Structure formats: structure tokens, C-alpha cells
Amino acid sequence: MLSDKVVKNIEGKANDIRISIIEMLVAAGSGHTAGPLGMADIFATLYFNILRHNPKKPNWPERDRLFLSNGHICPVLYATMAHAGYFPKKELLTLRQLGSRLQGHPHRTSLSGLESTSGPLGSGLSEAAGYAYAARIDKKKFRVYCLTSDGEHDEGNTWEAILFAGKYRLSNLTMILDRNNIQIDGNTENVMPLEPLRDKYEAFNWHVIEISGHDVRELYAAIEEAKAVVEKPTAIIAHTIPGKGIPEIEFDYRWHGRPPSAEDAKRFLKILNAKK
């Protein structure tokens, strides 16, 4: 059980990460807004409470591995890494610039601390499952985490990975699904219905937990439960609000791939700074 102090600290980190996301996107003039804001609580909880990692030694062999499948939400990953000490926060303002280490989709060899290059949706879970399988063969004790989006479940590759992980009972693999119900063309259930998602994962031999993606305690408890499951991979379906923290854009699919203007950013940052 997390103490109130720890929860408050993580929530504060998530708010700081959201501020950085807005600053990055307005400086870049391009990028995705809704997804990164919606995943800030999850990334803050992972990096500041759950993951075994060392920003000063990003290639530490015993570190937990985190794969970001939906690479377009990388502003939240970069912002979290900077706040965790992987690189200076001022570098966040180079997002998407020519020659920057912070590409529009993560490029593994450009920045220490990234486990994979991501961009083509649907590939990340296959990469994570393969890594988890190899880790088990090598008798490694670290855990593998994969962050995925609901929209990329339109990709057949995702379901091949789900089938593979279930067959080999990869209990060292935990997948966290950003169930925000939007993708670039609209709401997921209009574009390509995904429900019943829980039933589908369970049919593929996964242990499934559903949580609020904005409740630090629920995520922590789900991760601890996943560690105790020894015969199946775990899918955590995290129900999130796209654009979380900025009421005027919450749940609006049009902000999936739209960056804030300078005027938007002033309003958004005023809201977020008021929460500090």
C-alpha cells in the first residue's frame, strides 16, 4: 500500500510532466497531445515508484525493460525520463528538431534509456514478448513492461504477439493498455470495435486487470498483482482520459495528433501551473 505522501509526490510529478509536454509540443509546432497527457499518471508511477532502473547507468543489466509500442506518445516518455534524471530538462524543447535526440518517434540508438525504436503501430508487443521469452531462457530476473494503445489493436501483429505470449506463459511480461477510446480518425468503437477486450485477452490465456489509469494506487496494486501471477502474462487495461488535465480538450479525438498553438499553450499551462 502506498502512503499518502508517496501518492502526492507521484501526482505532482505527473503534473510537472504534463507541463513539460505542453512546452515541448508548442516549441516543436507538431506532435501528439491527447495521448501523452492521458498517460502522464502511468509514466510517473512507473518511473518514480515501480521500475527498477538507474538514470545514471541506463544500461544497467538488471534494469526492468520498458517498451513503448505506441511511439507517437513519446513526449510523455521523454518528459518523464528528463524529470527522472536521464538528461537535462532543457533538452525537451528540442523535440522533433533536426538532429535532436528526441525524435518524433523514439529512436533507440539516439538516446540512452530507450529499449526500442518504435513508430509502426502494433510492433511493440511483439518486441516485448520476444524479449521476455529470451529473458526467461537466460534466467534473467528483470521484468518486461510494454505500453500499448487501444487503436493499435486494429493491427494483426498485436494479436500475433498476444497469442505468442499466452502460449509461452510469459509471466515476466506486463502489458499496460491505454484504453482512451480514441484514435486519429475518431472513437475506437466507431473506427474498428475492440470490445469485449477483456474477454479477448482472457481467451488468449492472459491474466487481465482493469483499472483507472489516473489512480496511482490502482496501478501500483495491479503491478504487484501481476508480479504474483506465475503462469500467464498480465494485461492491465488502463482506462484513461485523453487530454487529461486540460478540460477543454479531454475526450476530444481531434487532439490525438494536434499540437497546441501558442495561445492554447498559455491557457493550458495556466491550468496546470495552478495545480502545483
Provide the pLDDT for residue 13: 98
What is the homologous superfamily of the domain 4-273 according to CATH?
Answer: Thiamin diphosphate (ThDP)-binding fold, Pyr/PP domains (3.40.50.970)
Element containing residue 232 per DSSP (H, E): none
pLDDT above 70 as % of the chain: 100
Provide the pLDDT for residue 1: 80
Q: Is the pLDDT of residue 82 over 90?
A: yes
Mean pLDDT of the 104-124 span: 93
Element containing residue 59 per DSSP (H, E): none
Q: How confident is the model at residue 119 (pLDDT cuts 50, 70, 90)?
A: confident
CB proximity list for 171: less than 8 A, separation 6 or greater: 229, 230, 231, 232, 233, 234
Mean pLDDT of the 130-159 span: 97
| Predicted TM-score (pTM) of this structure | 0.97
Mean pLDDT of the 25-38 span: 97
Q: Is the pLDDT of residue 215 over 90?
A: yes
CA dihedral 138, 155, 108, 41 (to 10 degrees): -90
Q: Is the pLDDT of residue 120 over 90?
A: no
pLDDT above 90 as % of the chain: 97
Extended strands (E) in the chain = 65-68, 144-149, 173-179, 182-183, 186-187, 207-212, 234-239
Distance between CA 101 and CA 234 in Å, rounded? 32
**Domain ranges within the chain, ordered by starting residue:** 4-273
Cα end-to-end distance, the chain, whole Å: 24
What mean pLDDT is reported for the chain? 97
